[in-house]
């Protein structure tokens, strides 16, 4: 398996190898399928609510082998998505969940310091920038929505203020959210795994779920074993798109990342020395953070799509797409032109139509959650609370959260979804290239791009609100 730079680094620091695979016939009160942030936060939350509960995690690869060990490490909130949250959940609930996304940043900082997890937590803030003239001011509706609710977390920057954060002429405008953070994503997920083991959670790695009995006492089947559980929580994120009920609600899309060699002098030339996480306003978003030892981690969304929700090899690494991302890095950060690339990798992003995850029941005792649309490092902490409450059958603010909703059928069935997705992706690519040249894209291109689902921090296409 091709690993990310992050996971390679975290595994080198880990003690012990993978956990033993599931064998034989076992029982658990709660069986969680998927050992990323969502599955691990769910396990920890179940243990917090009911310490005596017997919790098992079944993971196809190793914990953190999915998106959680490969992402950009932006630990951001959902303030930029407040409008979408309100649309999905209603005014009060949308606001409550946005507040919880801010609480998640603090909770993850506290978790790391209380448990000795050195996930390189740095509160450098989030810069939302325009790298094409058409994107200048795209944050204004999000800022206005926040201000309508008395929230002043996102602030617009003047060009001079922006260039105090990063000095590259390609950055034409921006907004800043100071209280967000960056992390080393794989140290975080491997830290969660360690703490879960310490709290008595049983973890089975290299144990892909091959079958799931949903009725009666649910049962998870793997190549060499089975677990019969009081309840099953599916924390599969992009892999969840293969589940029939979710297949029209979640679309897996690759996001590709490259890492440069450490070079503090380069960061100083860029004036990028305060650990800001930076993302632009494209649908095929560029996102970048600088590590404490001076590497630039640069990613780009919207690489390729999955047919029938199948996550193939291309979702782990593709040298041609790595070259494409490097070319974009040179365009967006011209000062990186000579910087050696030491690592490249890809991962699956689970996109939903509105860019927010979906939680719910597949049957009485089988619950699911995922679809963070590239914005899950912090929000999976909320996902863990929701899934734990659902799995334990509790009646509380998390089991009744607004994100517990029907999956819907926002995307067409296959093969239209895949073929149509390719057409829409190509239209977005052309639209963004026209915008780079400061030209107006053609009407057909704009119309087709309007079908794109919501991106990292903005609504899909041109016609939806951020």
Q: Compute the distance between CA of residue 104 and CA of residue 119 in angstroms, rounded to an integer.
A: 15
> Least CB distance from residue 192 to ligand FAD, whole Å?
10
Q: Compute the distance between CA of residue 82 and CA of residue 91 in angstroms, rounded to an integer.
A: 9
Pairing of strands 277-280, 126-130: parallel
> Least CB distance from residue 300 to ligand FAD, whole Å?
9
Nearer to ligand FAD, 370 or 441 (CB): 370
Q: Does 173 bind ligand FAD (CB under 6 A)?
A: no
Nearer to ligand FAD, 70 or 248 (CB): 70
> Least CB distance from residue 297 to ligand FAD, whole Å?
9
Candidates 325-333, 370-378, 418-426, 439-447 — which segment interacts with ligand FAD by CB under 6 A? 370-378
Q: Which of 32, 138, 349, 390 binds ligand FAD (CB under 6 A)?
A: 349
> Least CB distance from residue 440 to ligand FAD, whole Å?
31
Residue 349 CB neighbour total at 10 angstroms: 28
Candidates 10-18, 96-104, 234-242, 412-420 — which segment interacts with ligand FAD by CB under 6 A? 234-242
Candidates 5-13, 86-94, 100-108, 373-381 — which segment interacts with ligand FAD by CB under 6 A? 373-381
3-state SS, residue 217: coil
Do residues 288 and 278 touch, judged by C-beta distance below 8 A? yes
Q: 14 to 73, contacts with ligand FAD by CB under 6 A?
A: 33-39, 58-61, 65-68, 70-73
Q: Which of 173, 218, 303, 374 binds ligand FAD (CB under 6 A)?
A: 374
Locus of tokens 């990798």: 345
Please calculate the CA angle 437-345-348 and round it to the nearest 5 degrees: 85
Q: Compute the distance between CA of residue 140 and CA of residue 151 in angstroms, rounded to an integer.
A: 14
343 membership: H or E segment, kind and range: strand 341-351
Burial degree of 273 (CB within 10 A; 0-12, 13-18, 19+): middle
> Least CB distance from residue 265 to ligand FAD, whole Å?
25
Nearer to ligand FAD, 106 or 446 (CB): 106
Q: Compute the distance between CA of residue 323 and CA of residue 258 in angstroms, rounded to an integer.
A: 9
> Least CB distance from residue 35 to ligand FAD, whole Å?
5
Q: Compute the distance between CA of residue 185 and CA of residue 65 in angstroms, rounded to an integer.
A: 11
> Least CB distance from residue 4 to ligand FAD, whole Å?
8
Do residues 28 and 55 touch, judged by C-beta distance below 8 A? yes
Q: At what angle do helices 380-391 and 91-115 cross, to 10 degrees?
A: 100
Q: Does 355 bind ligand FAD (CB under 6 A)?
A: no
Q: Which two tokens stand for residue 460?
A: 């899909």
Q: Does 291 bind ligand FAD (CB under 6 A)?
A: no
348: phi then psi, degrees, rounded to nearest 5: -90, 130
Q: Does 386 bind ligand FAD (CB under 6 A)?
A: no
Q: Does 352 bind ligand FAD (CB under 6 A)?
A: no
Q: Does 347 bind ligand FAD (CB under 6 A)?
A: yes
Q: Does 380 bind ligand FAD (CB under 6 A)?
A: yes
Candidates 7-15, 332-340, 344-352, 408-416 — which segment interacts with ligand FAD by CB under 6 A? 344-352
Q: Which two tokens stand for residue 107?
A: 């909770």
Nearer to ligand FAD, 441 or 458 (CB): 458
Nearer to ligand FAD, 177 or 441 (CB): 177
380: phi then psi, degrees, rounded to nearest 5: -65, -20
Contact code string over 251-270 relative to ligand FAD, x by CB under 6 A: ----x-x-------------
> Least CB distance from residue 66 to ligand FAD, whole Å?
3
Q: Where are the beta strands (DSSP E) in 165-295?
A: 173-177, 181-182, 202-204, 211-213, 219-222, 225-234, 251-260, 277-280, 286-290
Nearer to ligand FAD, 19 or 67 (CB): 67
Residues ≥6 apart with Cβ < 8 Å to 303: 253, 254, 255, 256, 318, 321, 324, 346
- Residues lying near ligand FAD in the complex (CB under 6 A) are found at 33-39, 58-61, 65-68, 70-74, 76, 208-209, 235-239, 255, 257, 287, 299, 347-349, 370, 372, 374-377, 380
């Amino acid at each position: 398996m091709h690993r990310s730079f992050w996971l390679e680094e975290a595994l080198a620091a880990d003690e012990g190898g993978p956990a033993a695979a599931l064998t034989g016939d076992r029982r658990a009160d709660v069986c969680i399928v998927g050992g990323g942030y969502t599955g691990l936060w769910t396990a920890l939350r179940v243990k917090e609510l009911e310490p005596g509960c017997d919790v098992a995690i079944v993971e196809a690869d190793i914990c953190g082998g999915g998106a959680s060990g490969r992402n950009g490490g932006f630990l951001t909130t959902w303030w930029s998505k407040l409008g979408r949250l309100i649309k999905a959940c209603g005014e009060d609930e949308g606001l409550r969940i946005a507040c919880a996304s801010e609480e998640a940043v603090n909770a993850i900082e506290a978790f790391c310091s209380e448990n000795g997890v050195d996930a390189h937590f740095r509160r450098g803030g989030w810069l939302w920038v325009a790298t094409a003239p058409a994107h200048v001011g795209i944050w204004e509706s999000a800022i206005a929505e926040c201000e309508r609710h008395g929230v002043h977390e996102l602030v617009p920057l003047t060009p001079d203020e922006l260039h105090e954060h990063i000095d590259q002429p390609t950055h034409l405008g921006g907004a800043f959210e100071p209280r967000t953070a960056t992390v080393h994503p794989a140290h975080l997920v491997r830290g969660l795994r360690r703490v879960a083991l310490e709290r008595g959670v049983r973890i089975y790695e290299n144990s892909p779920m091959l079958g799931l009995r949903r009725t009666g006492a649910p049962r998870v089947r793997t190549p060499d074993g089975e677990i019969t559980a009081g309840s099953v929580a599916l924390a599969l994120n992009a892999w969840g798109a293969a589940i029939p009920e979710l297949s029209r609600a979640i679309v897996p899309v690759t996001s590709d990342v490259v890492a440069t060699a450490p070079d503090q002098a380069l960061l100083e030339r860029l004036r990028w020395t305060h650990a800001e996480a930076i993302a632009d306003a494209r649908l095929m978003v560029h996102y970048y953070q600088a590590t404490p030892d001076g590497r630039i981690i640069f990613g780009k969304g919207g690489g390729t799509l999955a047919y029938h929700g199948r996550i193939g090899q291309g979702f782990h690494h593709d040298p041609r797409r790595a070259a494409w991302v490097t070319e974009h890095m040179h365009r967006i950060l011209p000062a990186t032109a000579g910087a050696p690339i030491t690592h490249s990798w890809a991962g699956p992003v689970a996109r939903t139509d509105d860019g927010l995850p979906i939680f719910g029941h597949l049957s009485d005792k089988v619950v699911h959650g995922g679809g963070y649309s590239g914005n899950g490092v912090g929000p999976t902490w909320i996902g863990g609370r929701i899934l734990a409450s659902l799995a334990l059958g509790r009646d509380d603010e998390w089991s009744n959260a607004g994100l517990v909703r029907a999956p819907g059928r926002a995307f067409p069935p296959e093969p239209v979804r895949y073929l149509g997705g390719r057409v829409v992706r190509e239209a977005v690519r052309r639209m963004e290239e026209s915008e780079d040249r400061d030209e107006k894209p053609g009407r057909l291109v704009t119309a087709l791009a309007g079908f794109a689902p919501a991106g990292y921090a903005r609504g899909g296409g041109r016609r939806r609100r951020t």
